[in-house]
A = this chain, B = another copy of it.
């Protein structure tokens, strides 16, 4: 009977764990559905291994032509918060965050000729960096949610009044824009995800 219990427990484990569970109610989908904006945080630092896991997730985003336009500036020194956020931000969001991560984008990419091709390498504008950055920021947020952290995505690009103070405070190069500012930390209080399911937004074969 105890053996049976052990087997049932293991079977339950296999059917409900990531990797082996390919069903619609798997941990990854639950995590996506549970992600919410968190704007109030406990006074508790983020362990380095968790920060690194979020950055790894962010850098695993899909990226057009494999350009990987992203870079990250992690700000934890709160004496810098005011300077960075003097743009049109709601500073209260950031005040309690253990870290604010400026997710930045190189808006250019280096084109290099294929082997044997008689052309000169050149720096070109990238017309799809912004799409990569949306996916990158979302991966960061999902990784935070999965580790019991909370985060909120604040748009920086394309607002000049937000970008310029951030660019100057962080010393960003001219080809790099601050894309999003993500406040992250351990959530203070309960936050619930929004229900945004709208089946009327789905069309079959034609609009």
Give A12-36 as 1s and 0s: 1 = Cβ < 8 Å from B's Cβ atoms.
Answer: 1100111101111011111111010
The answer to whether A68 touches B198, judged by C-beta atoms less than 8 angstroms apart, is yes
A170 CB, min distance to chain B CBs, angstroms: 5
- A interface, size bucket: 35 or more
Assuming A24-B49, A60-B32, A145-B28, is B2 touching A9 (CB within 8 A)? no
A122 CA / B91 CA spacing, docked (Å): 29
Contact of A74 among B2, B74, B158, B202 (CB under 8 A): B202
Q: Closest B-chain residue to A8, C-beta based?
A: B6
Instruction: Give A153 to B12 CA distance when docked, in angstroms.
Output: 34
* Chain B min CB distance to A107 (Å): 14
Give the shortest distance, in Å, between A15 (CB) and chain B (any CB). 10
> CA A159 – CA B207 in complex, angstroms?
20
Within 8 Å CB of A183, what residues of B?
A: none
List the B residue with the shortest CB-CB distance to A137.
B135
Nearest opposing residue in chain B for A193, CB measure: B60
Q: Does A44 contact B (CB under 8 A)?
A: no
Q: Would you call A114 an interface residue if the criterion is a C-beta within 8 Å of the partner chain's C-beta atoms? A: no
Taken residue by residue from 178 to 207, chain A's Cβ proximity to chain B (1 for < 8 Å, 0 otherwise) reads as 001000000000000110111001111111
Give residues in A with beta carbon < 8 Å to B: 1-3, 5-6, 9-10, 12-13, 16-19, 21-24, 26-33, 35, 37, 49-50, 52-53, 55-57, 59-64, 66, 68, 70-77, 80, 127-128, 130-135, 137-139, 141-143, 145-148, 153, 155, 158-159, 170-173, 176, 180, 193-194, 196-198, 201-207
- Provide a sorted-by-A list of 20 A–B residue pairs whose CB atoms are within 8 angstroms: A9-B13, A17-B17, A21-B27, A22-B148, A24-B147, A26-B147, A29-B147, A32-B57, A32-B142, A59-B196, A62-B138, A62-B141, A71-B201, A71-B202, A72-B203, A73-B205, A75-B205, A128-B155, A138-B138, A170-B207
